[in-house]
Structure 1
Amino acid sequence: MQGAIYPSLKDRTVLVTGGGSGIGEAIVRRFVDQGARVGFIDIDAKASRQLVESLASASVHFEHADLRDIAALRRAVAGVREAFGPITILINNAARDDRHAIEDVTPEFWDERIAVNLKHQFFAAQAVAPDMRQAGGGAIVNMGSVSWVVGQGNMPCYTTAKSAVQGLTRALARDLGPNNIRVNSVLPGWIMTQRQLDNWLTPEGEAELMQRQCIKRKLMPDDIARIVLFFAADDSGACTNQNYIADGGWV
């Protein structure tokens, strides 16, 4: 279904982390539809190459990297820049919401969860900020989660990392604002990606969600992608330092 068209996104170079599937895939597809040049990074090479083949567009480019490895992240950013030119839109989407019990968390697991859900967001922003300064501005959208807002259990490392995205967003917005670089975060609710359907959604969970959400339907990846487009486009030029909840009224 066609959504809004944002002329300011046409021919812009966009970087999406975790763009090979789920919400990230929907974001990549939507930016391509806007006429942007889209580079995305993902650890899942098979899914990512399938996405590129399905789009059959010269304006999409995939870089394979494990974002927990900051050197690999920096190389991937350079690869996108080499393919499409300076990056002026960054969507920090990559994350993993694996469930885990408090007693099972080791120091190594803690560090790995922070790396996969938070650390790379800062270093991706650091890597593209010079491009944005040179271009006279840019937009960064960090993906948060309502899981920490609602106090969801059974994944303390994930919810800790996602709560920190709000602080990171506000810090980057303050420091990069003088360069006309806007930084916002989007906090999705329970979005029905294939991963969620395969691993976490149960009839009981769906019933509880429908009871708690104001909007009585499942939220899909494209619901979030459309919001991300707005915060990336010049239409949201007055918006920065914000954390926008998109959860169907769950919170």
Structure 2
Amino acid sequence: MTSAPDDLHMLLGAYVLGGLSDEDHRAFTEHLRTCTGCQQELGQLSGLPRLLSLVDQPPTEQPYAAELAPAAPAEGRAAGSGAKGLPDLLAEARRRRRRRHGWLAAAASVAAIGLFGAGSWLGPALLDPPPPSEHYTATAPAGSAAQVGVDLVTRGWGTQLDLACTNMPVGQEIVVYVRDATGRESPAGSWLGTRSGYARVTGATALRPEQIRSIEVRTADGTVIASLRT
């Protein structure tokens, strides 16, 4: 009678093949109720008795038996295939379990590397707050249907101007100017009016947002299309 836990694991192959004594069968059945490892391996090996029976049949009756399980040499079977087949069966079960654990470990490693790389790439973007910005809506003078929204984004070098424009003059050069508290003005960007009259443009100025007093959008000939005061 085998009673040690490790020995009970070794009874799995004989249990599948129906080679246990009544006493060992009762002991292993009791062990199987609580051992998840043996339960999983039993599910993998439960079909082996059928495969072994196919191997022992003549090739003429089962031409595909050799593909399912290679037959042992005739002298090996004559010497007692039951005694030799059981260790091989158990060894194969262990190999399958090790391979499964190896695949899981490899997958976990790849996932960990991927998460680490994503964290390294996304970390700064998630931790660094977006730069401060202020939104303004420009006013169009009489005779202009232009609609201009301006976001002033604070940058280390000055201010980024993000403009969203609609109903702009088609085919004309358009320039955006910024003016400081002293009245000095400078161009902060220019573009050519599109056929749809819509444009999203990014401009730039060395002035800080608090130094900008007004913004004007003009055509190349100086006609004001839209303006705003900060």
Higher relative contact order (CA 8 A, sep 6+): 1
Q: TM-score, normalised by structure 2?
A: 0.22
| Structure 1 or 2: more helix by fraction | 1
Structure with the higher strand share, 1 or 2: 2
Larger gyration radius, structure 1 or structure 2: 2
TM-score, normalised on structure 1?
Answer: 0.21
